[in-house]
Amino acid sequence: MSDLTNLTLAEARDAVRGKKVSSVELTKAFVGAMEAARPLNAFVTETPDRALDMAKASDARIAKGEMGALEGLPLAIKDLFCTKGVRTTAGSNILSNFVPPYESTVSQNLWDAGAVLLGKTNMDEFAMGSSNETSHFGPVFNPWRSRGSNAKLVPGGSSGGSASAVAGDLCLAATGTDTGGSIRQPAAVSGIVGLKPTYGRCSRYGIVAFASSLDQAGPMTKTVQDAAILLGAMASVDPRDSTSVDVLVPDYEAGLGTGVRGLRVGIPKEYRIDGLAPEIDALWTQGVEWLKAQGAEIVEVSLPHTKYALPTYYIVAPAEASSNLARYDGVRFGHRAKGVHDITELYEKSRAEGFGKEVQRRILIGTYVLSSGYYDAFYLQAQKLRCLIARDFTEAYKKCDVLLTPATPGPAFAVGEKTADPVSMYLNDVFTVTVNLAGLPAIAVPAGLTADGLPLGLQIIGKAFDEATVLRAGRAIEMAANFTAKPAEWWRAA
């Protein structure tokens, strides 16, 4: 087979099952691609030896006729998932040498299905960021560049390393996590598919926590079909996660060919925000026409509390983060400051040295909104608004089955362009945070290019635990868009 790294997950699965290629051959191709793409800084930890050992074990199982759903397929894992015996950093100095003694449920599900671990992908520190510039291990670079420019672009965040690895053909697919858009936003600006499942669909056990009521693991892939395949392996009920929901995991792949005829697609009028890039608006209009042409019914809906979503999110998420990150104290694991004289100084210096500026900012915001005298004014009000935002979706779904929106307000921007303005950075999540606040599933699908040749994505939002319909609608967008563009491999010459 010509270039193994160009294969989709589905194509590689069929090739391995048909014994047209071995897992070892496939894995060696991706190990080579991963090593050649180090200028992208997509990986924090590469595991080539482990990958080849896992590939050999897969080939042995295949020879005996024992094949899991992902048998022999090389994947990348976001460095937020604990991997037993493999360093897990969450992109932070405070965990820079942490090697977990246990495996996250999601990654264990993948290994049980026969997948191969290529390495751990770089990410915004503790998943806090929209550009992958807050990582202790340096920024990740987008494989895409503007036409006629050598400026390095961000891959989105926080799952920027996973997005870059998939877009650059450094793995067949990758895992990501989505707290306010951290799968869908990087997928959209990197020209790949990113699916955030319903809250509770995938176990959070063994995933380093950011905001526990918002975090959800999901697949980042080259195609919608690949997302369906990977989600089927990732999802499960888990008694170790009290928020994991015991609902049937359907055969997502089998339902993709149903089409969208008769599907009611809602267009939320509040998403037509001031300052929306004209190219995004035009793509959104095009998406409506694509779905209409395939037999979908288009209806306008209202999500009246959308304007409160970002401020609500940036109260709830930092509040939960300040609580979750209190465990990093320099005592039990992680970075421990030297030359301290008492326990208070140990806490203060370890955390000051261990956490980066963005994480410190969010801990301070979260601690403030939870503090005496401010809890009622901020956190309690945000929780009430969150209920209203969720209710908006419930009302909208009385008129429609899914929603179609932009995935991001614009394409990838240059590294360093927005780091000095946190509010401008936070606005990148304007179309995605509502979904997390309501706990719903959503997918970002590459649907077009800017005049400068950069990817743009559309988002399908669905009802709780109806990922099957989200995937079906996403597939319809994918077929109509016929997005086949690939980034030029500039990093090979770097």
Rounded Cα–Cα distance for residues 107 and 113 (Å): 10
Backbone angles phi, psi at 255, to 5 degrees: -90, 0
Catalytic residue among 135, 182, 236, 322: 182
Sheet hosting strand 217-221, strand order edge to edge = 43-46, 116-121, 74-78, 173-177, 217-221, 193-196, 442-449, 455-461, 402-406, 264-268, 297-301
Q: Residue 143 is encoded by which pair of tokens?
A: 């494989």
Residues 6+ apart with CB under 8 A from 361: 422
Tokens 């089955």 sit at which residue?
A: 401
DSSP conformational letter for 355: S
Assess contact for 144 and 101: CB atoms under 8 A. no
Number of residues assigned to the chain: 494
Catalytic residue among 23, 131, 158, 162: 158
Angle at 69 between CA 100 and CA 36, to 5 degrees: 60
Catalytic residue among 22, 58, 78, 190: 78
Rounded Cα–Cα distance for residues 164 and 143 (Å): 6
158 is catalytic: yes
Question: Mapping DSSP to helix (H, G, I), strand (E, B) and coil, where does residue 4 land?
Answer: helix
Assess contact for 179 and 436: CB atoms under 8 A. yes
Assess contact for 429 and 214: CB atoms under 8 A. no
Rounded Cα–Cα distance for residues 77 and 169 (Å): 14
Question: Mapping DSSP to helix (H, G, I), strand (E, B) and coil, where does residue 433 land?
Answer: helix
Q: Residue 135 is encoded by which pair of tokens?
A: 């990582």
Distance between first and last Cα of the chain: 27
DSSP-assigned beta bridge partners for residue 268: 301
DSSP, residue by residue, 279-316: HHHHHHHHHHHHHHHTTPEEEEE--TTGGGHHHHHHHH
DSSP-assigned beta bridge partners for residue 414: 153
144-179 b/e (C-beta count within 10 Å ≥ 16 → b): bbbeeeeebbbbbbbbbbbbbbbbbbbbbbbbbbbb
Question: Mapping DSSP to helix (H, G, I), strand (E, B) and coil, where does residue 176 land?
Answer: strand
Tokens 């319809």 sit at which residue?
A: 476
Q: Which residues are catalytic?
A: 78, 158, 182
